[in-house]
Structures are given as structure tokens and as C-alpha cells.
Chain A
Amino acid sequence: MNDEEPICEECGERPATWHLTEFVDGQPVQHHYCDKCYAEKEGGGAILTPQIAFAQLLAALAPELKEMAGRQCPVCGINYLEFRQNTRLGCPHDYQVFESALEELIQRIHGATEHCGKAPPEAGKGALTRRRIHALQKEQQEAIATQRYEQAAELRDRIQEMKEQTNEPDEPDG
């Protein structure tokens, strides 16, 4: 989860998990909604299964299409339009080829764009470090919530240290 999650502009209370770009008079306007308000705006009450939510997200991506339309993956041959039509990518390499459009899509689906879970044996330490930072951030939030400010400060320092470590040159992306 991001540190700085925007708050829903509708209710002003819950964290926003839906980030939409509307074009008004040719200018992009950003909107941020929480699940509840977004569902209500979209005709409320419907359960958003992953498939339905994904299709809706793709529909909202229309502006990106112009930019991406020309790109094609050298490995599997799909272009961005085909991806949108099938809602599936053609091969692992597509995550690099269509990265900029995917980044936003993935952000909307998951509220995050970086893996911090398990890694296979041959992988580098990136995800592991992020997982550790993530865990420390949770501890820090709990410490703040229970007013253990000294502990929270210590954690803040540890997190800072770890973040600095990850800014060192990384292995190339797999």
C-alpha cells in the first residue's frame, strides 16, 4: 500500500482506491473515489467481481490508447488494442512493452505497483526488501496508533535505512 493514499473526494473519509482520469474540455481531470462511493456512482449495489471491475477499468483507460496503439510485443506479437479486447496479456514480456499503460491499470486494480511478496529462488532481493519495509511500516502505524512514539521513531529510522539500501544499484529486471 502507498504511504500517501489519497482520500475519497466524495465522502472525504475513506482511502481512495479508484483513480479515474476524465477529459473535460480536452484537459485531464483526476478523480479519486473509495470503493463505496465509486460503486454508488456507478449505479451502486453491484458486486464488483475481479472480471467486471477489470473490464470497467479498461474502459476508463481510453485516453491512454492513443499513446499505446502503436506498440507491439516482439515476442508474442500482440498490440495494445488486442490486450484490451482480450483483457489478457500475450506473454510475460508484455509487462515491459506496455509498462506505462499497465502501471496505471495495475495501480487502479491493486492500489500498488510493486511486489512485496514471495520471490522464486533465482530472483534478486528487491521484493524481499520491500516486504520487510512493508512489515515495518505496519508496525510503525500500530505504534503510532497506540501512542508508542519512541518506538514509532525508531521504526521510522529503520525504514529510512532500508529504503536507502534499496536505492543502491539493483539487479536488472527479470
Chain B
Amino acid sequence: MIRILYIIYGTAVLLGLGVAQYQGWSLATVNEVKNVPRSVRDNPGSYRSVYSAYHHYTGGK
């Protein structure tokens, strides 16, 4: 019984992996924004990125 359940589970994992690879899933954090105005093309500064206010690491030992 456990073996059958595992085979079903494993098949689902591989099918999920196939779909993920085909559709191009990734683990990256990306924010999707709708209806960005065309004017951004001519005035890039008018776009407000959600990531621009993040604290930036200043690194180094």
C-alpha cells in the first residue's frame, strides 16, 4: 500500500517537474505589475520599482 502511494506521489512529483520546466518556473522572487504606462519607455524615471526602497547590503568582512 505504501509502495503504491509512493509511486503515485513520485509520478505526481515528476509530472509537476515536467510542467514547471516547460512553463519556465523558477524560485526567483518577482513582482508582477499590470498596465505599466507606455510613457515609461520615454521616461524611465517615472516607473516606481517595488524593490527600490529595500535596504541594500553594504557587505564586507
| A and B held together in a complex | no
Q: Which residues of A are at the interface with B, using a C-beta cutoff of 8 A?
A: none
Where the two chains meet, the residues of B that have a C-beta atom closer than 8 Å to any C-beta of A are: none
